[in-house]
Amino acid sequence: MSTLFAPPRSMTENITHYCPGCTHGIIHRMVGETLDELGIASRAIGIAPVGCSVLIYNYFNVDFQEAPHGRAPALATGAKRARPDMVVFTYQGDGDLASIGTNEIIHAANRGEKITTVFVNNAIYGMTGGQMAPTSMPGQVTTTSPAGRDPAKVGFPMRICELLSTLRTPAYVVRTAVHTPQLMVQTKRAIRRAFELQLEDRCFTFVEVLSTCPTNWGMTPVKSLQWLQEQMMPYYPLGVFKDPDLPATQAGLVPVPRKRQVQDEEEG
Amino acid sequence: MARKLMKGNEAIGEAAIQAGCRLYFAYPITPQSEVAEYLSRRMPDVGGTFLQAESELGASNMVFGAAATGEMVFTTSSSPGISLMAEAMSYIAGAQLPAVFVNIVRGGPGLGGILPAQSDYLQATKGAGHGDYRMLVFSPATVQEAVDLTMMAFRKAELYRAPVLVMGDGMIGQMMEPVEFESPKLNTGLPSKQTWATCGAVGRPRNIVRSLFLDPERLEQNCFELQAKYARWAADEVRYETYNCEGAPRLLVTAHGSMARICKTAIDELRAEGTQIGLFRPISLYPFPTAPLAALGDRIGRVLCVEMSLGQMVEDVQAAVGRRLPVKFFGRTGGMVPSPDEVKHQILKQLEADA
């Protein structure tokens, strides 16, 4: 009898602590499959964030560091500069990366650190109990925006891919989602491409994945997927913002129209 | 390496290289930016890495990430920058990693000034960041001692897998003195870094570097492990100097770092005038040399603590000598450095008051 489907060898068999309907488990698995496929688990260093995925190290058979809130890109910088032969990645949520850690992610991206960041954006603080994030949608009700996010008072949601793609240095910046099977396939390709580019010593690779939080959004898992599709996707367009081979990108992921990007004239 | 005339900040940078450190992450701040300038030239010479971080938060967390791979790493800063690094210090202590920090102290609080001060003593010795942890803290009084203590700091960080702080002041950083580099002997018999560092899980279970323990029993256990280190420090790492304490000095001055050096000049002048004054100079600020100071305080009977702060180390001095012997204090702060004459005047005033 042959095994047709099994958990990635780079992952443990621990049951995850994530809520029903959360997409962290799917995204974890894509990282695990990538580590297996590229044969890099034995030289991988993962950096865990603060947030729901703070315990990510329980689910991987690879060396992990647990960072202070928002500082994962700084730890990754230190680890990769100390050991350039390692494959270093951070896995961060939107509170961690887009709020307390904006300085670290922007400068790691701009220095062109040879690391990969998987950024899971679910438009809310999950672990601390559903507070407003910089990525929360206008009108979105959270425990710290009970009347809905008011852009007149706290600004509009931050688009991190768009922000990072204004920088000249980063090699790969892409936004995907995992709420349909087709998008899952594309997300897996994007994560794999990010790690492959790191193996080619390309400067900084970044995959944003739109995600759900049924618990803190106060919706069923199915309704959450619809909300992501209807509310988040129009504001956070999926696509490739930067790629060394743009515009000839990988199948399925469309390049974001040029007007959305600040193109570097000299690169053209 | 032959004797060489060097500025304190540059000598500290060279000391790190001579100790074998090849990784330095830093952010510029007066009065220690020369360390970064020096190492930006010197590190590439020896195949090392210098990286200017986006902030002290960035620099200290890069130190965290590099230390977690088991490589020797350090950073330098000055007071306001050290406040920002306190986050990483706490995490590095909790995660039990080796790392060296240097604080070339300037006046505070707040942005303060850029001139020498010792007003970060409490921050350094009582825990800059949050939680149940300490750092080994060394205070040099000369550029040569800054070199020796910096080199030793790497050995101690490695031995105890803990953050070690060398705390000088703007005077140590800026003055030029002749120095020699002689590295303390290497640690032997340390556990392989494969047992704890994140350097690739090959032929071993994964290593997780963390300070997060959600189970309170496990967290308390981690804190007990830290306390066991601190007990070893109290036994093995207490360092101090006594000066002019033989016979029957009329008063004991306690001072550390540059301030102790100024006090020595005052003491020498008083000796020439026929008055014997002793000096007790803690070199390890944590662990504080409590027992030897207590013995000396008992014998001499009068203690004056002199600092470039408005009274920080004096708390440890008083705790050492006990309530029966009230410790007198003299300090200037904010970059005001007491002259030998000022110290002399304070000593004489003290003797007259007690007469």
Which residue, among A47, A63, A80, would best test binding to B if mutated, counting the most B CBs under 10 Å from its CB?
Answer: A63
Contacts for B277 with CB less than 8 Å, ≥ 6 apart:
B244, B249, B250, B251, B252, B253, B266, B267, B270, B271, B347
For residue B205, the chain A residue with the least C-alpha distance is A61
Q: What is the pLDDT of residue B2?
A: 80
pLDDT single digits (tens) B145-163: 999 999 999 999 999 999 9
Q: Name the residue with tokens 């007003």.
A: B119
Shortest Cα distance, chain A CAs vs residue B202, angstroms: 5
- Domains of chain B listed by start with CATH number: 4-188+212-236 (3.40.50.970), 240-354 (3.40.50.920)
Residue type, A50: V
A61 close contact with B: CB closer than 8 A: yes
In sequence order, the β-bridge partners of residue B176 are B7
Contacts for A76 with CB less than 8 Å, ≥ 6 apart:
A45, A47, A88, A89, A90, A108, A113, A115, A117, B65
Q: What is the pLDDT of residue A88?
A: 98
Burial of B30 (0-12, 13-18, 19+ CB in 10 A): middle
Q: What is the pLDDT of residue A249?
A: 55
In sequence order, the β-bridge partners of residue A90 are A47, A117
Q: For the residues A151-155, what does the mean pLDDT come to?
A: 98
Q: Name the residue with tokens 């305080």.
A: B297
Asked if ipTM goes beyond 0.90, one says yes
- Collapse the DSSP code of A87 into the 3-class scheme (helix H, G, I; strand E, B; otherwise coil) and give the result: strand
Which residue, among B25, B50, B51, B61, would best test binding to A if mutated, counting the most A CBs under 10 Å from its CB?
Answer: B61
CB–CB contact A54 B212 (8 Å):
yes
CB–CB contact B199 A81 (8 Å):
no
Interface of B with A (CB under 8 A): 23, 25, 49, 51, 53-55, 57-59, 61-69, 71, 73, 87-88, 91, 95, 197-202, 205-212
| Mean pLDDT score of chain B | 97
The dotted CATH code for A24-267 is 3.40.50.970
Percent of chain B with pLDDT over 70: 100
Which residue, among B69, B90, B202, would best test binding to A if mutated, counting the most A CBs under 10 Å from its CB?
Answer: B69
Is residue A178 pLDDT above 90, yes or no?
Answer: yes
Q: For the residues B166-182, what does the mean pLDDT come to?
A: 96
Is residue B256 pLDDT above 50, yes or no?
Answer: yes
CB–CB contact B64 A65 (8 Å):
yes
For residue B54, the chain A residue with the least C-alpha distance is A107
pLDDT single digits (tens) B298-335: 999 999 999 999 999 999 999 999 988 989 999 999 99
CB–CB contact A66 B210 (8 Å):
yes
- pLDDT band (50, 70, 90) for residue A258: low
Contacts for B87 with CB less than 8 Å, ≥ 6 apart:
A68, A71, B57, B60, B61, B129
Q: What is the pLDDT of residue A2?
A: 86
For residue B47, the chain A residue with the least C-alpha distance is A82
Residue B57 in tokens: 């938060």
CB–CB contact B198 A45 (8 Å):
yes
A54 close contact with B: CB closer than 8 A: yes
Q: What is the pLDDT of residue A16?
A: 95
A9 close contact with B: CB closer than 8 A: no
Q: Please name the residues between 64 and 123 in chain A that touch chain B, using a CB distance below 8 Å.
A: 64-68, 71, 74-79, 81-83, 86, 103-104, 106-107, 111
Q: Give dist(CA B70, CA B29) in Å, integer.
A: 27
Kindly compute the dihedral angle of the four CA atoms of residues A229, A230, A235, A237, in this order, to the nearest 10 degrees. Answer: 40
Is residue A213 pLDDT above 70, yes or no?
Answer: yes
Q: For the residues B282-306, what does the mean pLDDT come to?
A: 97
Q: What is the pLDDT of residue A1?
A: 76
Percent of chain B with pLDDT over 90: 96
Q: What is the pLDDT of residue A266?
A: 41
Per-domain residue ranges of chain A: 24-267
Partner residue facing A42 (CB), from B62, B88, B201: B201
Question: How many cross-chain Cβ pairs, A to B, lie less than 8 Å apart?
Answer: 134
- Contact list, B58 vs chain A (CB under 8 Å): 71, 74, 77, 103-104, 107
Could you tell me if B301 and B79 are in contact, meaning their C-beta atoms sit under 8 angstroms apart? no
Biggest CA-to-CA distance, chain A:
62
- Contact list, B205 vs chain A (CB under 8 Å): 61
Is residue A263 pLDDT above 60, yes or no?
Answer: no
